[in-house]
Chain A
């Protein structure tokens, strides 16, 4: 499975935008880019996903590079409740049944 590289940790201030980067240089044409986050003592929570075009939803925006070798998750106004581990994952298409392989993720700390 293609792998992703994320910073181990990032910090932000409340009400400021947060840009979480992810590198996936070995991405294949059918891989979807997924982001999940995990709050303490909870299971992972879906945030957003996309294939080629940028995506927006109520939680965040996903900016995908034109060559698809990197992407950025954007939280427009961080709140204390956004403090979590954020996982960038490639979900392979084809016959792999969309298997998600989690890495270490980025620990986001939000300061009041």
Chain B
């Protein structure tokens, strides 16, 4: 079974530039999550999709971050403009359905460095 695919694996940009990350969840998984993991910390949920609708984006900095999942399958997370503090690993995860009794499958992440 193919896992959660993310690209690129690494990205280096200057501050104030824009960047986009792509995620393809496991086939058939309706729920998709984007997490941000700053070095030395646990992952922090940015946004959660159920099919192509947003169910939780309470911790997404909406002035600079945006995310979409137009066809309910793959998803894109964008940062515009980037700040130094956005340097982190961006993790995508998926689950078959939402719920406390479901397990999440994570991708390997995109490591972003903002210079």
Which residues in A have some Cβ–Cβ distance to B below 8 Å? 30-32, 34, 36, 41-46, 49, 51, 87, 91-93, 96-105
Contact = CB atoms under 8 A, between A and B. Distances in A.
A104 B105 CA distance: 19
A47 B90 CA distance: 21
| Chain B interface category by residue count | 20 to 34
Interface of B: 4, 31, 35, 41-45, 48, 50, 55-56, 91, 93, 95, 98-109
Contacts, number: 63
Contact of A87 (B42, B91, B101, B107): B42
A96 B98 CA distance: 9
B42 A102 contact: yes
Contact of A102 (B43, B56, B107, B108): B43
Contacts of B99: 93, 97-98
